[in-house]
Structure 1
Amino acid sequence: MWSSSTIRMLLYWLLLVLLIALTQNPLLVLFNIILWEFCQEKCIIYLYNQVRLHI
């Protein structure tokens, strides 16, 4: 049985890998991780905007 925290963790890593692949910028990824820790809901919107800017 999958717990919600496990699913959240998998989504988090998937997003992280996607960000690294799109940006090729470890510092930006690190910055996003820090933001993620402080504001998970707002960070999803922020990450979406960051990814959209790089496309």
Structure 2
Amino acid sequence: MLLFKQALSQIKLSELTGIPRRHIAEMENGKRSTGKKEHSEAGGSSERQQL
């Protein structure tokens, strides 16, 4: 997670991304989805589509 690699506080990450700090905390605690889709190894691709 970016937060740990860059040693960012939830407040700073919130300022940089526009995501409310409360939502960041909920994502860290597994109470809110990050929006990242998970794919099975059998048939899914982990690459994101470019729009």
Pairwise same-fold verdict (TM > 0.5): no
- Compare the two structures and name the one with the higher helix fraction: 1
- The structure whose RCO (Cα within 8 Å, separation 6+) is larger is 1
TM-score (norm 2): 0.30
User: Looking at CA atoms only, which structure, 1 or 2, has the larger radius of gyration?
Assistant: 2
